[in-house]
Amino acid sequence: MKLERYKTLLAPGSKEIVIKKSRFIGYARPVASEDEAIAFIEEIKKQHWNATHNCSAYIVGERDECQKQSDDGEPSGTAGKPILEVIKNQQLKNVAIVVTRYFGGIMLGAGGLIRAYTDGAVAGIEAAQPIVRVLHREVFAQVDYTWYGKLENEFHQRGLRVLGTEFTDQVTITCLPEEPEADRFMAWLTDFTQGQAVISSGETRYFTAEG
């Protein structure tokens, strides 16, 4: 069963912070699979082949089935785990993060490293813009032209997402109610059109929540 909504990232983003002369560059991006997460991490490692460390973590899957993290040479538990904890604490799904470090000559200690990699991960996430994805269901409403204006006005007032409208001998409107409301919406549509609409249900798909 698909999630009704989940939080992820809008697009790849990165941001650099400097802590005691060490440069930390947080990279974050949405990923659709574990392979995509691994490829992204490898891409950053290639880009920053001369960095001191490229530490990473990712969470993939509707139920967070796949979770991995890497300290990439930093003391155990000081880099990958804090990055993973940031993803969990922000309740993000299908996200991969790499925090690249260029050592600045000053030792940070375990506590300092944990804070630095946490801050690097947060910076990357902020740059990538967290968003909420909401599950919608396609509902097709085929009506005579006499109903089109009334329905268009009603949908607008309800703030209903409309994917498209097809004009043939009749009008077919592709509506996108949120999945939990879809059955109620179809019942309302039948009542509103006095049973004159031909209504059918299509696929479910995720859209970014507005506002």
How big, in percent rounded to 5, are the helix, strand and coil portions of the chain? 35, 40, 25
Residue 180 is classified by DSSP as: G
Collapsed DSSP state (helix, strand, coil) of residue 160:
coil
1 vs 30, more confident: 30
Q: What is the mean pLDDT of residues 89-113?
A: 94
Confidence band for 107, pLDDT divided at 50, 70 and 90: confident
Q: Give residue-wise pLDDT tens across range 174-200.
A: 999 999 999 999 999 999 999 999 999
Q: Tokens 């993290």 correspond to what residue?
A: 69
Q: Give residue-wise pLDDT tens across range 135-162.
A: 999 999 999 999 999 999 999 998 899 9
Residue 1 has pLDDT above 80, yes or no: no
DSSP string, the chain: ---SEEEEESS-EEEEEEETTEEEEEEEEE-SSHHHHHHHHHHHHHHTTTSSEEEEEEEESTT--EEEEE-TTSSTTSSHHHHHHHHHHTTB-SEEEEEEEE--S---HHHHHHHHHHHHHHHHHHHH-EEEEEEEEEEEEEE-HHHHHHHHHHHHHHT-EEEEEEESSSEEEEEE-BGGGHHHHHHHHHHHTTT-SEEEEEEEEEEEPP-
Q: Give residue-wise pLDDT tens across range 50-63.
A: 999 999 999 999 88
Q: What is the mean pLDDT of residues 58-72?
A: 94
Across all residues in the chain, what is the average pLDDT? 94
Which residue ranges form the domains of the chain, and what is each CATH number? 5-128 (3.30.230.30), 133-208 (3.30.70.240)
| pTM of the predicted protein model | 0.84
Confidence band for 66, pLDDT divided at 50, 70 and 90: very high
The tally of CA atoms less than 13 A away on the side-chain side of residue 17 is 16
pLDDT value at residue 105: 87
CA angle 16, 18, 21 (to 5 degrees): 140
Confidence band for 211, pLDDT divided at 50, 70 and 90: low
Dihedral pair phi/psi, residue 37, rounded to 5°: -65, -45
Q: Which of 88, 95, 90, 70 is nearest to 80 (CA)?
A: 70
